[in-house]
Structure 1
């Protein structure tokens, strides 16, 4: 699929078609209009591939979204000399139009949605030799629209729901979060009926039924619809996906480019370093991630993102069955004692960064001594380990705490940790005690994988001052957090001023 996504010339075509005809004084004979383009099966294939290309845009998964999902949570923070960038990770929003912290992610989110809507509006009228391929193209567009709206719901909550190809003069109405969740559920449910259990080798990386069920479960869980979430997750354990997924033996394999799309992968973004162009719309635009460049230590990268020290202490509270340190610590963080604890240095050099701690997942120190803007490591958006821990959480919420242990134990066993009941017998069948421990289990396994912010929201830890005060002990940035306001981003002010159907989010 990485090769398929090189074909990005369509992106420019589609952007031009978004302008109303009266704005185009002189037609460009070298550029197709939307009416001229959507004619063939190949046009439909290019159209859906253009949606995937949005993963590579800096407002989304190439760069800035990690600042919101990882650094704003209690996992990370920023000491960037770019003061405004750092402020956006510590709830100090003064300029709602800050490009890198807000506007670009908003723009790229709706740009991705627009591409989905283009496919959904135009492909139904194209004749296909194989009708099943046509339905799968439409189902991919629905899944990807739901995915982008899911993260929009996590970030801004109350936003316009746009379901048709839009024009610059459109003034879409703002909708409440509840309606956004309903639309995400609808898109995912319709995609689920069509998408396959797996794709052939040429199409690895496109969403499967497993990926759809994973995002359905996430969507239901954020709304605390536990029974619906269980039904989605049942796919992996008693449904068609039973036995298809399993944890890889080597934890590190989930973060390098050596063993991508493995048995633990449920859905991952297909990054590549083949193109080293800019992030525009040309055929040689980059398909890489910049995350390692921005999060690597000073002198290697920009060090704009750092990890909080409490996580190192958390890893060291419990030893393996052999009396060793949790091996996940080794591949999760760069920290001062890494060389003493595991014999590892950092990008080929001994530690010289004081007490600072940095993210190691997706760093490329395993095969090079520097970083750049063209990292090729696929981002594992959903891993089977996450599915196991989600299922445990859902079972616990449904009063099946005793049954939930097995799924946590499967994750712990890979790291040679004792079964949960043996390590923490005081939990028993106490639902709240189990949930508190599960919060830690998710942190140890999934740290810096962009799930912590949704977790904190789902658990209700951000809804009361008492909950926020507890987080602030780990992360002093939460002393800036305002209950009822900071749980969501402000909508870019330019959008509010230009659209009378938009109101700024509460408290801003």
Structure 2
């Protein structure tokens, strides 16, 4: 819960380029006079991190959001007017520019990283170790932004220079993922072997973790275990194993002993309330009172100064979107707060989990049965407009409330109760849309242990994760590893790419389990009969391979450089049967 603020650094935007790399010059600074000092270097890096928050301002367009709703673990949800949520679940389109905002925003982050890589060497008064750390962070963030763009759109331009070039072609497969892996290896080599735990900055070990995640997706999805990078170097499976082993042995990151204590609903101001199901069970959130989470490797940080016009991304918009729909009384949905109802948990996840590992405590630590809340109302309470509602909510990325001193009313966020000295931007002291400010972790050390097992075929890392959950050790198998990733990392943005890299048959079978599961429409029991809307989840996956449509305005922009440079739309998009017209009622 550390309030490290990533301010917008307008000085990063020295020049402009194509709209898919929107960057506006707000100052007179340029590469001739900036960056030159240690302070400049810190500002430059902060500007690249800021892109995490820029995207968070519109989470519904982001890869994280799309990957959660498109996976087999969540449905779309939201109100009947929230067609984008349902379209992402169904792998359909709500308009030709559905993902333009995310596309442009992530390329802004790429542009800032390119500028940093090119200019940080000009800084004076910065030690070599500090400069290498900064450069390594820039390489990591460029790789992460391309990881999301490549995962979401598949076939994209990949500029590695800040000089605009409208003739850059779309690339995919090995050339694109080779660049991502090359950047991560550069980051690993540059950054010193010092963990940045709790600072909000990435380190060498974060780059190793993302290397493992990116390599596993590429090698599985594209069926290629040796990657030739743009510079001609090769990255093999053994290279990745070596980096993951180093991360496990030397990073200093570790598992939090109790899985429940990873999640904000166990915070000290909420967990022992008389309404809490966990009262008296000794749960202690690892981030109480600004504590450091030793398992959190890469995260989005938030703060108390959001503004609707400029810095809305400094609050956790994902928590708001995934919050309880309907403006229901906090006493009836405790410990969870209000939101838009996106991403209700698919019943097939709960039933799969219960069948495979019925004694796994992580299931109930991750999934909330709405009937176990104090007084939950189906149909979004008085709103009466909930589509694809289920009997389950996820508990990891949610608004969490706490009781006020009067003993009867509640804060929209527990943060107000935990730290009464928080200074909020004017008028936002108790605003359910602006008060979720606890970190959102994007990579945990538990995933590194699971990647170690998957890469080596040895169950040691996987069994460390199981032991933390109080579960017995198991022999290594592909099925056991895949289940372990699904249970341990549920709702953390990794399941979608896991489905895709496991193969088309696996993905289609898993996705089709959502067909005809029990749902509620405006509180009335029904079935998730999607075959009448999109032909079925598996059918849409076959058509798209999980890639989202390229925004048509970006295709038009590419053609301005000449018809020979015009981008091609991804397969499965651009036809009338790929458009979503709303949930039938």
TM-score, length-scaled by structure 2: 0.71
Matched, 1:392 2:453: yes
Q: Pick from 475, 478, 482: which aligns with 2:537?
A: 478
Cross-structure match for 1:491: 550
When structure 1 is superposed on structure 2, of 292-301 and 360-369 the one drifting more is: 360-369
Q: How has the CA–CA distance of structure 1 residues 75 and 279 changed in structure 2, closer, same or farther, with 3 Å as cutoff?
A: farther
Given that 1:214 and 1:387 are in contact with CA atoms closer than 8 Å, whether structure 2 keeps it comes out as yes
Q: What pairs with 1:419-434 in structure 2 (closer than 5 Å)?
A: 419-421=473-475, 434=477
* Residues in 2 aligned to 1:268 and 1:457: alpha-carbon distance in whole angstroms: 24
1:452 aligns with 2:452: no
Distance 1:492 1:506 in 2: 13
Query: In structure 2, how many angstroms separate the alpha carbons of the residues matched to 1:157 and 1:108?
Result: 17
Q: Distance between the aligned counterparts of 2:347 and 2:178, measured in 1?
A: 38
3-state SS of the aligned residue for 2:299?
strand
C-alpha root-mean-square deviation of aligned residues, in Å? Answer: 3.0
| Partner of residue 435, structure 1 | 478
Query: Against the structure 1 CA distance between its residues 188 and 482, is the aligned structure 2 distance closer, same or farther, given a 3 Å change threshold?
Result: closer
Q: Which residue of 1 aligns with 2:343?
A: 305
Greater Cα shift, 448-457 or 305-314 = 305-314
Match of 1:83 in 2: 83
Look up the SS of the partner of 2:544 in the other structure: coil
Structure 1 partner of 2:22:
none
1:81-160 equivalences in 2 (<5 Å): 81=80, 82-93=82-93, 95-98=95-98, 102-160=99-157
**1:72 and 2:81 are equivalent in the alignment:** no
- Deviation per residue, 1:78-127 (Å, 9 max, x gap): 133222442133111252312xxx11111111010011011112222233
- Secondary structure at the aligned position of 1:266 is classed as strand
Q: CA–CA distance in 2 between the matches of 1:61 and 1:449?
A: 18
Give 2:465's aligned residue: 411
**Which residue number in structure 1 is paired with residue 295 of structure 2?**
264
Contact 2:157/2:171 (8 A) holds in 1: yes
CA distance in 2, matches of 1:2, 1:32: 31
- Following superposition, the deviation at residue 382 of structure 1 comes to 1.4
Determine which of 396, 407, 423 is the counterpart of 1:361. Answer: 396
Q: Paired residue for 1:504? A: 569
Compared CA separation, residues 204 and 241, structure 1 to 2 (3 A) = farther
Alignment counterpart, residue 54 of structure 1, candidates 48, 51, 55: 51
1:474-493 per-position Cα deviation (integer Å, ceiling 9, x unaligned)? 35551551415242112111
> Paired residue for 1:274, among 304, 326, 329?
304
Query: What is the aligned length?
Result: 456
133 and 183 in structure 1: CA distance in 2 versus 1, 3 angstrom threshold: same
SS in 1 for 2:304: coil
For normalisation by structure 1, the TM-score amounts to: 0.81
The reply on whether 1:351 has 2:376 as its aligned counterpart is yes
Per-residue deviation, 1:263: 2.1
- How do residues 7-22 of structure 1 correspond to structure 2 at under 5 angstroms? 7-8=7-8, 10-11=9-10, 13-15=11-13, 17-18=15-16
Q: 1:211 aligns with which of 206, 211, 223?
A: 206
Q: 1:4 to 1:289 in 2, by over 3 A?
A: closer
Change in Cα spacing, 1:279 to 1:231, as seen in structure 2 (3 Å) is farther
Instruction: Assess if the C-alpha contact under 8 Å between 2:61 and 2:102 holds in 1.
Output: yes
Question: In the alignment, what sits opposite 1:232?
Answer: 240
Within 1, Cα distance between the matches of 2:44 and 2:318? 27
Give the corresponding residue for 2:256.
Answer: 248
SS of 2:314's equivalent in the other structure is coil
Deviation at 1:189, TM superposition (A): 0.9
Q: What is the rounded CA distance, in whole Å, between the counterparts of 2:160 and 2:468 in structure 1?
A: 43
- Given the superposition, is the C-alpha separation of residues 473 and 19 from structure 1 closer, same or farther in structure 2, using an over 3 Å criterion? closer
Q: Which runs of 5+ in 2 are unaligned?
A: 19-24, 220-224, 227-234, 265-286, 328-337, 380-389, 404-409, 413-431, 516-529, 531-535, 560-564, 574-585
2:399 matches 1:334: no
Closer, same or farther in 2 for the Cα pair 1:174/1:239, shift >3 Å? closer
- Within the candidate set 32, 37, 42, 1:40 is matched to 37
**1:11-46 deviation digits (Å, cap 9, x = unpaired):** 3x33463279xxxxxx98x75455444333322210
